[in-house]
A = this chain, B = another copy of it.
């Protein structure tokens, strides 16, 4: 895919052919001034947008184009899931240099469309423009049964706090990449977890459908920061038991081999794309819930009155060092990318 040869219009025409008609609730997808959707009755709609910028979120020297295309959409799918929504479709705003390598562009588009198909989230529109660097922005729409969306607000004191999957694996993978790449198969697993996160598929939708969660947020900036968001919106504090944070097998050893603090990474690694959610006192036990939903779930603490987030080890309060999570414009030594 040579953008300088195809031009904007040739590229859009090729994208339209490859993406095909979106169908379903979409009356019009690529090819008009805008995409046109007929919402189903009894559904609320969810809309989210995310960006990936070359040199900030990814570097071509350490990035496979196909995985980047998939990951660009996964960030949005994670947001939809955190609202309990099923994907409807996505729009791609792609800013890229005229000199973009054809293999990179083809790989990126291929990855994006593959993920779109796999997640039933067809590409329905967007914009393609020239830029000195790659800037990828995706908007995704989803639907959720009326009134059932998962919100950040809604958590109450006493609610159990659960997290899906493992924490910090993506953050470790990024550090390994930054330090020159994987040295063994164990490290490669973490690099993969960074390059192509595995989302807890269907978890958010199941929680919403069964009204199991009182509040939810996806983990994109690290547990410490995302928990703070959930608590702030819910107007509660939390107790988190550090020894209950779910870590991947070999995670702590791999961290130490690289001189990294595993707890630090688990709390602030970023891009985990797991779901953090609260369940009320009446919810089934975690093991039963995990079995029902077909995902790994860990109970890591409880919401409490007040505003403080307390980190506990062996029941005693501790202060984890600088567990801030990633923040754009303020990235310090532990800032992701």
Which residues of A approach B to under 8 Å, CB–CB? 3-4, 6-9, 11, 27-28, 31-39, 41, 43-53, 55-57, 79-80, 82-83, 85, 91-93, 95, 98, 124-133, 135, 137, 139, 141-142, 146, 149, 151-153, 216-218, 233, 327-331
Contact = CB atoms under 8 A, between A and B. Distances in A.
A215 to B, nearest CB: 10
Contact of A133 (B35, B132, B327, B329): B132
Number of this chain's copies in the assembly equals 2
B137 A51 contact: yes
A193 to B, nearest CB: 21
Contacts of A328: 7-8, 128-130
Nearest to A8: B328
Given A32-B152, A36-B149, 10 more contacts: A7-B329, A8-B330, A9-B327, A33-B79, A33-B218, A35-B48, A47-B91, A48-B91, A49-B92, A49-B137
27 contacts: A8-B327, A27-B44, A32-B151, A32-B153, A33-B152, A33-B218, A34-B79, A35-B46, A35-B47, A36-B83, A36-B149, A39-B43, A51-B127, A53-B95, A53-B130, A56-B129, A56-B130, A93-B93, A93-B139, A95-B135, A127-B137, A130-B329, A130-B331, A131-B135, A135-B135, A135-B137, A137-B137
B32 A37 contact: no
Given A129-B53, A132-B133, A329-B98, A34 B9 contact: no
A328 B7 CA distance: 6
Given A4-B329, A327-B9, A328-B8, A46 B53 contact: no
A163 to B, nearest CB: 15
Contact of A28 (B37, B151, B327): B151
Contacts of A45: 36-39, 45
Contact of A46 (B34, B132, B149): B34
B47 A82 contact: no
Contacts of A91: 47-49, 139
Contacts of A80: 34
A99 to B, nearest CB: 10
B233 A50 contact: no
A94 to B, nearest CB: 8
Nearest to A126: B49
Given A49-B93, A51-B129, A327-B9, A233 B151 contact: no
Nearest to A330: B7
Contacts of A43: 39
A133 B131 contact: yes
Contact of A233 (B31, B57, B152, B330): B31
